[in-house]
Every structure is written in C-alpha cells, then in structure tokens.
Amino acid sequence: MARVVFNPLAWFLAAHGALAGLTVDVENTDSIKAAAALVAEDLMGLYDGEKPGNIPGVLPEVADGNIGWWTGGVLWDTLLDYKARSGESKYDETISRGIQWQVGSNDNFLPANWSVTIANSDQGIWALSAVTANETGLQLEKDSPQWLTLAKNVFDNLSSEDRRVEEGGCAGALRWQLYAINEGYNYIDSSSNIVYLNLAAQLAYLTGEQSYADAAASTYDILTRIGFITKNFNVYDGAHVDDCKDINKVQFSWNAAYLLEGSAFMYNLTGNDTWKTRVDGLVDRTIELFFPDGVATEIACEEKSCNSDMHFFKGILHRALASTMQVAPHTAGKIQPSLKSSAKAAVAECTGGNNGRLCGFVWSTGKFDGNTGAAQQMNVLSALVSILPAGEQASGGNSSVGSGSGNGSGSGSGNEDSQENTSSDDTHGNAGTKASVGLALLGSVLLGSLLL
C-alpha cells in the first residue's frame, strides 16, 4: 500500500474509518475482509521466522520459553482459515515453509529442537494444521510428505499404548507429557485427548476409514467415563493417574471448542443421533459459558490473570464454532449471532500500538486493555474470519468440509456448576516446559498451586 490514494482496499478502509483503529460492518463481507487484511498484516509483522538465522514455523516467544511450541501450529491454522474464507494467498509460501520446517526427521511433528518438551496435545495441534493445509490446497515443497501423511503419522503416534495409561481409573487415556522424566507425565489432560479426538474425527471424515471413527468414539467414551465431560456438557481440565478422581474442574474454551468441532465432524459423517445430541449440548453449553453477553471471554482467567498460552484460546474458539456451523449446519442459528457480536466487540478495541489498530485481549469492556501480541491478533483475525460466508472456501473452517449430512436444530443442554475447581498436590510443568500448556498446569495457576 505504498501509494494509498490509488489502492482500492485503502480507499475502502478510509471510507469506513478503518485507518483510525479498526471498524467493521459484521453484515458486510467486504468490510470484514478489509479489516481482516489489516489484522493479518499486523500479525505477520510479529512473526520473524523468515529472517536469516531465525527458526521458521514458530513465534519468537517460543524460543524464549514464554509460549508453547504448539502456538506455531495455531498460527498457521489461523492463517489457512483466513486464506480459505477470504481467498487471500499472499502468505501461502510462508505458511507452507513454517509448517514443513517443524515436521521433524520422522515426519510426525517431533522436531529435535522441541522434542523434549512437546506434549501430546502439542503434536496433535500441529497435525490439525496439516489437515487444514491439505483441505485448503496449500502447496508442498518438492519431495515433501503429503499433508495428510503428516497428520496420519501423528495419529499413529498418539494411538500407541506407550502414550497412554495402562490401568486404573484413567485406563486408555492419553497422558499430557510424552516422557516420564517430564513433570506432568502423571497428569491426564483433557486437551491431549480432545485434540486426538478431533484429529481422528477429521481423518475419518476425509478418508472414510473406520479406524479413525472408532478412535474418536472411544475417546469420547473414555472422557465421559473419567468425568472430564459431564452429562451437562461441562468439559473439565484433567486429573492425575492412577484413579483420575481428583478432577480439576477448571474450564477453558479451547477444550470445549475442539471437542465440539470433532463431534460435529462425527455427526456429519455418521448422522448418528448420539453425536447430534453431543453437538447440540456442547453448542448450548459453550455459548452459555464462553460468550457471556455475546462476547468471547476466557472465563477461567480473564478477570484474574490469563498466562501467555491462554491468550490463544479465543481464536480457537471462534474457528471451531465456525467449522461446526459448516459440518453441522443446523447449529448456525445458535452459533452465528454470538460470533457476530463477539467479532464486533473484538474489533472495537483494536486501537493500540503506533498504528492505532493493534488488538488487545479483553473484548467485553469496550476499551483497549493494552495487552497486545501475536495471540491477540490471531484471536481477532479468527473472530473476523469466522463470520465470513463459508461458501467462499474450498473446504471447512478449521479443517475440511464436504457435503454436510447434519441438519435440524440443537436440542439444548442442562446447566451445572460451571467453575468448581479442584486443586491438586502436584504441579504439572516446570520452568523448562511451562509453555507446553497441558491445562492442568494452567488450572493450577488459577488455584494458586503452581510452582513457578
């Protein structure tokens, strides 16, 4: 935009007041795209992986230990969703290089730089970005493994018995950490299991292979048996082996979001009433819990102190809900109003930085909170992209969509104690791996039991 006066996009933005902060008409596709383009531009200004000597694929804070390696996967998933819904391809080479740089020597997203601290959820999130790359037709470098091959390799890793609890109340569940030497190995986090379910569901949807569908179904059963998913569709953080009785009842939006999206893919695939009931219940509870007054809110920590990893969850929430609407269209009537009101609130507080348009974290107050960064830009970008017409993309929101079989209206869900937290004696991380999420650790922050 060197010569703004001749640039149609700049003219449009000026006409809508978007050169002084961001404004958006959530009913106007051109307005949404215009605002999203600026948010994406500012986001990519915070990424330095293309600079000589830097590591492609991850945000600079990863090397400092301030955020988890998994956030790189979310970054590329976010930009691929933006590409799919807006048609913008200017970042394609950067995205492709970023993902492929992190695949590791065995093509399973266990790169040597981070393998010691990688959690099962981290590996799964990178696999989801590969699924999205496949569905958006992102170009691969010559002789590179196919996107779905990468995702399938991760699925196979996460399915192995050595990643799971063998016996007791937690039997069959994925552990948080890969290695016994890591603090948190004896914690069973819902995030690792839910990301695995989501990956399995999307692979089942794409390939038609029953083994993936079976894995998604059995994981949902394990999570309900343990008590991480309640009959009223609360999604709790996790518990310790061996008995999984000390359930940490902190609720984070990304767990509910990934679970809902995976369930929606399973409903679309099977047409099964059981999956429809789950989708409808999760939609109702997720909107009720994480969109108070119609604005996305990380209820577990927003009024207290969300750490740097928690700042990424709202974007995941928006993208997963948008994806759910595509594969389970009957949910749109309940989801879309919240996405629109939340996106409007999010953009309204993008008034920070030297350019007067950087976004903050808290959207519900109507004013800029001064809390900026890559996560905040990703959240707002996802909020905007989530309300773009789905028909403009080749495939699904967070991943793939084809011909949807889901239809009808959600049935509603019950209401249960939303934020009863159970502290634990153990802390689930350490200084070297604190950014690996595994949200028992994060829940413990809120409960005052984390050893920093």
Q: Residue 444 above 70 pLDDT?
A: no
Q: Position of tokens 């495939």?
A: 395
Q: In which residue are the tokens 């920070």 written?
A: 352
| C-alpha closest to that of 8 among 45, 40, 37 | 37
Whether residue 94 contacts residue 57, with contact meaning beta carbons closer than 8 Å, is answered with no
Share of the chain above pLDDT 70, in %: 82
Q: With CA atoms as reference, report the closest residue to 41 among 321, 367, 380, 388.
A: 380
pLDDT above 60 (res 207):
yes
- Give me the sign of the Cα torsion angle 256, 442, 99, 125: negative
Dump the DSSP string for 35-51. HHHHHHHHHHTT--TTS
Question: Tell me: the pLDDT tens digits for 364-407?
Answer: 999 999 999 999 999 999 999 999 987 543 333 333 333 333 33
* Residues 124-181 pLDDT 10s: 999 999 999 999 999 998 889 999 999 999 999 999 999 999 999 999 999 999 999 9
Locate 396 and state its tokens: 């699904």
Q: What is the pLDDT at residue 20?
A: 52
106: region left, alpha or beta (phi > 0 left; psi from -120 to 50 alpha):
alpha
Dihedral of CA 36/385/229/238: which sign?
Answer: negative
Predicted local distance difference test score (pLDDT) of residue 305: 86
The answer to whether residues 394 and 404 touch, using CB atoms and an 8 Å cutoff, is no
- Residue 141 has a pLDDT of 86
pLDDT for the residue numbered 115 = 84
What pLDDT digit, counting tens, does each position of 34-56 carry? 999 999 999 999 999 999 999 99
Tell me the backbone φ, ψ of residue 98, rounded to 5 degrees: -60, -45
Half-sphere exposure of 196 (CA within 13 A, CB side): 31
Say if residue 369 is preceded by a cis peptide, omega within 30 of 0.
Answer: no
Query: Which of the 8 DSSP states describes residue 308?
Result: T
Condensed to tens digits (0 to 9), the pLDDT of residues 272-284 reads 999 999 999 999 9
- How do residues 62-104 score in pLDDT, each as one tens digit? 988 899 999 999 999 999 999 999 999 999 999 999 999 999 9
**Whole-number pLDDT of residue 13:** 44
For residue 364, what pLDDT is reported? 96
Could you give the percent of the chain with pLDDT greater than 90? 77
Nearest-angstrom CA–CA distance, 237 and 231: 15
pLDDT for 205 equals 98
pLDDT at 242: 86
Model-level pTM? Answer: 0.86
Q: What pLDDT, in 10s, does the model give residues 95-128?
A: 999 999 999 999 999 999 898 889 999 999 999 9
Comparing C-alpha atoms, which of 227, 223, 224, 239 is closest to residue 187?
239
Tell me the residue type at 279: V
Average pLDDT, the chain: 86
Which residues sit opposite 187 in a β-bridge? 240
Please report where in the chains the tokens 């993902």 appear, as a residue. Answer: 99
Could you report the per-residue pLDDT of 347-361, keeping only the tens digit for each?
A: 999 999 999 999 999
User: Residue range 191-198: average pLDDT?
Assistant: 98
- 25-344+375-447 under CATH 1.10.10.10, yes or no: no
Chain centroid, CA 122 distance in Å: 11
Could you give the angle at the alpha carbon of 144 between the alpha carbons of 143 and 145, nearest 5°? 120
